Each structure stands twice: as structure tokens, then as C-alpha cells.
Amino acid sequence: MPRGSALRGGLSLRVPRGEGQRLGGRRVPREDEKKKTPPFSTLLRDAAELVSARKGRLALGLALLLVNRLSGLVLPGTTKLLLDEVIGKGRRELLGWLVLAAAGATLLQAATSFTLSQVLGKAAQRSITEMRRKVQRHVGRLPVAYYDQTKTGVLLSRVMTDAEGIRNLVGTGLVEVTGGLLTAALALGILFYLNAKLTLIALAVLSLFGAVLLSAFRTLRPLFKERSKINAEVSGRLTESLSGIRVVKAYGAERREALVFSKGVHRLFRNVAKTMTGFAGVTAFSTLLLGVVGVAILWVGANDVLSGRMTLGSFFAFTLYLGLLVGPVVQIVSIGSQITEALAGLERIREIRNEPPEDAESQTREPLTRIEGSVEFEDVGFEYREGVPVLRDVSFLARPGTGTALVGPSGSGKSTLIGLVAAFYRPTSGRILVDGRDLAKLRLSDYRSQLAVVFQDTFLFDGTVLENIAYSRPDAPREVVLQAAAVARCDEFVEKLPEKYETLVGERGVRLSGGQRQRVAIARAVLADPRILILDEATSSLDSESEAAIQEGLADLMKGRTTFVIAHRLSTIRKADTILVLEGGRIIERGRHEELLARGGRYADLYTRQYGLEANLFLNPGESAESREEETPRAPAADAAIGELPLIGGERS
């Protein structure tokens, strides 16, 4: 798996659901917004592409079906000969041959039916597998802004559920329809030969049925599309509630979630009920029309037999061949619903495949070899919503091997700036230079391969400790992976696990503590050997003991690398080479810790307030901070140790 995918989705820079996001000047719509429906001709091209990919097996299936249907014509023909020749004229010598012909045709039908299901069934499953792979690859290449606005359940439905429907295009469905039409054409020719007047009566009624059927499918196709959307929403909400089961139980929200789910599945039920009502109406109408055909044939045919214009055998054969004409038409009702559902799934898949991937221009961009690590912002501005800037005129230079800390109140633009450094977003204005080259013109995969991120909310996959560390470099030898683990101090807790590095961590790493998960994330970043490192609140949720241990691993990781740090605990960034203070999307102060404190500006205000808050966290009622300072050291030992660590690459000063 490409290393870029390890970073994708980590920085989830959310905007309100009511708005879309902008990426490089292009607005990314919300999933629940009405999107432009792909033209029906586009869906037909997609369907033709699927059919063309399996044309060999489909041709074989069609040939088998032709043999199967031709065999089915034998029995009505033998019936006519039986009535007119054997019984009517007493030609007993034909009876044995007629029985053998009927038995042989029946056996041939059975053999071709079995082979047909094997050939087309496997072709359908291969097509489903390839479609899922194709859609998953495309989804994985979409920009982070798209993920921010699209529920996981929706994407899961596109990959798994919608792809399932194509079985009816490359499986038995399309071939059955084609074979049915072919059978109907052959039967129609025989019917005209037997009695043209009766055939024209049947065709007139069936033409009316075809018009009604076409109108019904046009009405029902949007219902199938809506069903896919509802199913995706219900699945997404269920996924969220199961993932957040601890929050659900902590607030006693089981009944509330059950109610939300019940409303969702009831919407799904109403949609299915409408679809069933539509097809029930079509089926009832087809039954009525077939009854009309039967009554007309009975009246006209019986009169022709009585008047001598038609033999009894011909009339009996006509009714059997009429069944071969009408049967495929009725079959279209059931198979047509499946093909309609498949086209609705293709429409949803086409919508997501129309979304341009973030690396769409990679072939025209400049390749990037190993970089030094210089990152420069030149008058960078960024907007999630058009006309509402999040960053304004941001300019700074981070030299190779230095560390830049970002501080400021919530909503000041820190995470957005980090997202731009990680190339999750493109600037709305200005440009970002990497080693003096415009990032927008560089190949994204080359840049991401030299980038690593350690997030506050560490994500681990449901695998072993070793597999999670090796995620950044799956081809790395085991010895190299273990060295990275040692740098991150993972060996200190792994040795206590029952199966050491082969221990399963569980979904999202639930079997490990917060500090252990964070060490695994640091080891993953060490193994990546990046030139640019991003630390997004990497230790803010840990206790002092765990943080002190992890800071040692971070100190080793950051040596010689260009590092960007977001930290609300200002005591952890005192050794940064440059501190950028953001407010309202602008850099209002910059400098080192001592310089900014001496300046007495916004940074000094933030630092003083935070120190005062930390100093008062554990005061007893009536106790002052001054009296506590007389009894205890001014700063906790862990924070003091952290402040002395070389957090940003280089030696202690």
C-alpha cells in the first residue's frame, strides 16, 4: 500500500455539514447535496464496458442459451405431430422418434442450463470483484476534503453494495433477456407460419404491455437510486454508533440510537414498499393482458378449428409457441427490475468516479527526489467556503532540520496550516515552496513519501504491533522495524505483552493504552525516515509519566528533520527554533520562546494564562497559588524534563 494512504484521513479538518469545501479553487459538495445525474448514455457506456470485458464468456453463455432455447422448441413441435400425425392419422411408427426427440431435447436443456449458470455466475463474480477494486482505488485517491464531507457508510455502500448489482449485467440477467428475446423472435416466426391473424392479435396486446413496462421502469429507476442512498445513510449511522459504543453506553443512549436506526430502516422499508407496489402493478397488468390474449386466442382459434381453417394440432402448437413468445416478455418484468437496480448502482458509482482524484495531474508534475526539508509559505491564503478565508497572507520559512511550533486559540488556523504542509489541501492563493520549488507542481506521491505525521488521535489497524509499525514501510526488514520500535521506546511495553510484537492490538488499537498507541505511532514515523515531520498534539492526551517517556522518542525522531508542532501545552515547545502565533488566520507574532515572552504580546499572554491555569488545577478550597509554591517546586518534574528535551532537531542548548 502506498505510503500516502497512511497519511490520508488523519487530519480530519471538518467544516459544517451545511457547507461544501474548496480544494484548489474547486468546491467539494456535501454527499447529501443534489449532484448532477450522469446522462443515461454514460451509464450505457459503463454497462457496455462491463459487458465488453467479459464478452468471451458472455458469447459462450449466449451460445449455450441459444442451444437451450432451441431445445425448448422441440416439445411444442412434437406435440403438433403427435396430435395430427400419430393420433389423427394413426402413424404409430413416429411415436418412438417423437419420444426420443423430446427426451433428448430435455436432457440437452438440463445440461446447458447447468453449464450456463457456471459460466455466467463466475463471470459475474469476477466483474463484481474488479469493480470493487476499481472503485476502492479511486476512493482512496480522493482528496481529504471529500472525506470530510462524506460519511464512511456512504463510501462503504459505493464500494460493496452498488458494485454487487452489476451481476445482473454480466451474469444471467442480461443473457436471459437476450436469449428470451431471441426465443421470442423464433417463436414469432413460427406463430406467423401457423396463423398470422392470431399472431397479430397477440402482438397488438403485447405492444401495449411493452409501452406500460417502459414507463414503469422509468418511474422505478429513481426509487432504486434513492434506496441505495438511504441504505448508505443507515449503514453510515450504524457504523458510527458501533464505533462510538463507549460514548453511547456512557450516556445511556442505547434507546436513542435504536430509535435513529429504526427511523432509517423504516425509510428503507417505505422505499422498498413503493418499489414492490410498482412491480406488483406491472405484474397484475401483465396478467390481465395475458388473460386478454388467452381469451382472444381461445375465441378466434376455436372458430378457425371448427371452420376447418386450422387443424387441432396446429392450434395446440400455436398455444405452446405463444407461451414461448409471452414467457420472455413476462420474464423481463423480474429481470428488468434487477437490471434497473444495477443501472441505479452504476449511476451512484459513476457519480463518485467523476470526482477528480488528488493525484490526477501526477503525470504532468515534476518528479521529486530526496529533499533537504526547506518549507516556505508565500502569502498563502485558504478558504473552506468561498468568501470565508481561514488563512490570510501567511508567510514564513522553515529551514531544513529546524522546528516550527504553531500556537494560538482554537479556530486560529493551526490545523489548516498543517493540512497545507501535508498537501491535504491546496492554497486558495499564494504558494508553498519545498526546497524552493512550488509544491503544486511537484508529484504528490514523491512528496508524501518524505513526510510523516504523528496525530493526537492515533489510529492503529486491527493487526499486530509489528504490522502497525511497519505500515509506513511494509517492505522493511524485521530488524529495521524493531530498531524503529526501540527508538520509540516500544520495547519497554511490548516485552510484557503475551505474544510480544505479534500481539493483536484490536480495532483502532483498543487493547493498548493511550501511551502505548502513541509510541507505536512514533515508531511508525521513525521507520518512515521522513525529511518533514508533523506532530499534531502528539502528547496532549497523555499523563505526565507517559508523556515524559514518549518525549524521549520524539526527541530522537526530530533530530535533523524539519518539524512542525502543534501544542496547546506551551511548556512543551520552549525549545522550538521558531514559534508562530496565529489568530484569525494570520501570523501575529513569531520568534523564539524567550523573545516572545520578553515582548509581552499575545504569546506571553497565552503562556501566562496557561501557567496560571495549571498552577490552580489542584488547589484545595481556600488555598492560594502562592502558598502552594512555597511547599512545592514551581513546575512539575515531568514538565521540567520536557522543557529541557531537544524537542526540535539538534543538540540541547
Q: Per-residue pLDDT tens for 216-257? A: 777 777 787 788 778 778 877 787 777 677 677 766 777 888
Query: Which residues are bridge partners to 221 per DSSP?
Result: none
Q: Are 152 and 296 within one domain?
A: yes
pLDDT for residue 377: 92
Q: Are 47 and 137 within one domain?
A: yes
Distance, in Å, from the CA atom of 413 to the CA atom of 404, rounded to the nearest integer, reads 15
Res. 2 pLDDT band, cuts 50 70 90: very low
Q: Which residue has the cell 417463436?
A: 187
**36-45, 118-127, 332-341: which is most confident:** 118-127
Phi then psi for 223, rounded to 5 degrees? -65, -40
pLDDT for residue 41: 63
Q: Are 7 and 75 within one domain?
A: yes
Say if residue 16's pLDDT is above 50: no
Res. 13 pLDDT band, cuts 50 70 90: very low
Say if residue 546's pLDDT is above 70: no
pLDDT for residue 31: 46
In percent, the amount of the chain with pLDDT more than 70 equals 76
Q: Are 103 and 186 within one domain?
A: yes
Say if residue 600's pLDDT is above 80: yes
Final residue belonging to a domain, choices 321, 353, 385: 353
- 653 belongs to a structural domain: no
Q: Are 415 and 302 within one domain?
A: no
Distance, in Å, from the CA atom of 199 to the CA atom of 317, rounded to the nearest integer, reads 13
Report pLDDT digits (tens) over 473-501: 888 888 888 888 888 778 888 888 888 88
Query: Is the C-alpha dihedral spanning 384, 390, 394, 399 positive or negative?
Result: negative
In percent, the amount of the chain with pLDDT more than 90 equals 2
Report pLDDT digits (tens) over 270-328: 888 888 887 777 777 777 777 777 787 888 888 878 887 877 777 777 777 777 777 77
State the DSSP H helix or E strand holding residue 525, giving kind and residue range, or none if neither: helix 514-528
Q: Are 558 and 432 within one domain?
A: yes
Q: Are 380 and 349 within one domain?
A: no
pLDDT for residue 628: 44
State the DSSP H helix or E strand holding residue 27, giving kind and residue range, or none if neither: strand 26-28
Say if residue 531's pLDDT is above 80: yes
Our count of domains for the chain comes to 2
pLDDT for residue 215: 76
Q: Are 317 and 402 within one domain?
A: no
Say if residue 470's pLDDT is above 50: yes
- 363 belongs to a structural domain: no
Distance, in Å, from the CA atom of 449 to the CA atom of 451, rounded to the nearest integer, reads 6
DSSP 18: T
Q: Which residue has the cell 459487458?
A: 51
pLDDT for residue 40: 58
CA of residue 485 relative to chain centroid, distance: 32
Say if residue 261's pLDDT is above 70: yes
The CATH code of the domain that includes 441 is 3.40.50.300
- 610 belongs to a structural domain: yes
First to last CA, the chain: 40
Q: Are 428 and 347 within one domain?
A: no
Final residue belonging to a domain, choices 353, 388, 412: 353
Q: Which residues of 96-132 are buried (b: 16+ CB within 10 A; e: fewer)?
A: eebeebbeebeebbeebeeebeebbeebbeebbeebb
Say if residue 464's pLDDT is above 70: yes
pLDDT for residue 353: 82
pLDDT for residue 410: 81
Of 33-47, 205-219, 420-434, 478-492, which range is least confident?
A: 33-47
The Cα-based distances of 529 to 146, 444, 476, 561, 612 in angstroms read 29, 17, 11, 9, 39
Residue count of the chain: 653
Mean pLDDT of the chain: 75
Q: What's the whole-model pTM score? A: 0.64
- 347 belongs to a structural domain: yes
Of 171-180, 449-458, 582-591, which range is least confident?
A: 171-180
Q: Are 291 and 339 within one domain?
A: yes
Say if residue 593's pLDDT is above 50: yes
Could you list the residue range(s) of the whole structural domain that residue 281 is in? 3-11+40-353
Report pLDDT digits (tens) over 135-160: 888 888 888 888 877 777 778 877 87
pLDDT for residue 175: 67
Q: Are 230 and 109 within one domain?
A: yes
The CATH code of the domain that includes 322 is 1.20.1560.10
- 520 belongs to a structural domain: no
> Please, which residues have CB within 8 angstroms of residue 237's CB and are 6 or more apart in sequence?
151, 153, 260, 261, 264
pLDDT for residue 3: 41
> Please, which residues have CB within 8 angstroms of residue 595's CB and are 6 or more apart in sequence?
none
- 489 belongs to a structural domain: no
Q: Are 391 and 325 within one domain?
A: no
- 311 belongs to a structural domain: yes
Say if residue 398's pLDDT is above 70: yes
Contact criterion met (CB below 8 Å) for 68 and 112: yes
- 182 belongs to a structural domain: yes
